[in-house]
Amino acid sequence: MKHEDFLEAYLQDRCKIVEEALERYLPGKDNEPRELHAAMHYSVFAGGKRIRPILCLASAEACGGDLAPVMPVACALELIHTYSLIHDDLPSMDNDDFRRGKPTSHKVFGEATAILAGDALLTEAFALLSRAEKIRLAAERRLAVIQEIALAAGAAGMVGGQALDIRTDQQAPDIGALTDMHRRKTGALIMAAVKTGALIAGANDRKLSALAGYANHIGIAFQIADDILNVEGDETLMGKSTGSDAALGKVTCASLLGLEAAKARLAEEVGAATACIASFDARALPLRAIARFIMERKS
């Protein structure tokens, strides 16, 4: 099977089982208050590649683990990611009208309900992570998973990265500061996805270190790819407008280095990621394929 065919089949299969699980774990959209739950469902099921939960599952597989005990954690990561997108699209942040080809949450439900939907998804994620009947792990290991995700989502990780991103509107960073921002804003939750999948599968310290290196590089690569697509991506494929970074005066890898240098940096990060897991056997094939997908994606 060709690389492209394998990856497409793998992503489609994993996306399907993640979405089925999200349907089971998320409170029903007819629950009261109905508008809040409708807004939560609208954003969670508005499409998307489910890369973070799929990375969590693929990391567990690479370490010889089963999918069942990992699935609630994978879904919690997607709920956190979706909350971050709802807030990121708000007028006070990136002010986006469309996400994945559909009107953003605040355009459909209003700003107040969109903010609350994001808040609810974040809280729901940790409610899911704390449920012993869903995550059948020893309490110590379950606590380690929760801590890993909490640190990745908060001021030390994703939220801190978003704060740094806002600051770049007023003060242009150098490439080191920009990379640090990328590592927090985008990379932290990707790191958590890869590490928690491995933790649940019982990976040893050597494998955890190798996977952390892989996650570090693909997290940076993912944001560089986003920066490039914002300049030259196909709006139809992306489901949102391009050129928004330049219009907002945001400093990105593409604007700081130039498009060709940014593409070279992207290829370097992906190459470094795959080198980190060179010692893994064929069970890590999905991780290698996802790294290449990040470099070649069109949306």
CATH number, domain of 236, equals 1.10.600.10
Whether the full predicted model's pTM is greater than 0.95, yes or no, is: no
Q: Tell me which of 235 and 101 has the higher pLDDT.
A: 101
Domain contains 11: yes
Asked if the model's pLDDT at residue 1 lies above 70, the reply is no
Task: Average the pLDDT over 208-212 and give the result.
Answer: 97
Q: Which of 22-36, 198-212, 235-249, 259-273 has the lowest mean pLDDT?
A: 235-249
Q: What is the pLDDT of residue 299?
A: 64
The yes-or-no verdict on residue 117 having pLDDT over 80 is yes
Q: Give the model's pLDDT for residue 246.
A: 66
Q: State how many domains the chain has.
A: 1
Q: What is the pLDDT of residue 257?
A: 85
* 297 occurs within a structural domain: no
Lowest-confidence region among 177-181, 243-247, 286-290: 243-247
In this structure, is residue 299 part of a structural domain? no
Would 298 be classed as within a structural domain? no
Give pLDDT tens digits for 70-109: 999 999 999 999 999 999 999 998 888 988 889 999 999 9
For the residues of the chain, what is the DSSP string, one character each? --HHHHHHHHHHHHHHHHHHHHHHHSPPTTSSSHHHHHHHHHHHTS----HHHHHHHHHHHHTT--STTTHHHHHHHHHHHHHHHHHHTSTTTT--SEETTEE-HHHHH-HHHHHHHHHHHHHHHHHHHT-TTTS-S-HHHHHHHHHHHHHHHSTTTHHHHHHHHHHTTTS---HHHHHHHHIIIIIHHHHHHHHHHHHHTT--HHHHHHHHHHHHHHHHHHHHHHHHHHHH--HHHHTS-SSHHHHTT---HHHHH-HHHHHHHHHHHHHHHHHHTTTS-GGGHHHHHHHHHHHH---
pLDDT-derived band at 3 (thresholds 50, 70, 90) equals: low
Residue 296 lies in a domain: no
Asked whether the predicted pLDDT for residue 251 surpasses 80, the reply is: no
Could you report the per-residue pLDDT of 31-66, keeping only the tens digit for each?
Answer: 999 999 999 999 999 988 999 999 999 999 999 999
**Average pLDDT of the chain?**
90
Domain span at residue 102?
Answer: 3-291
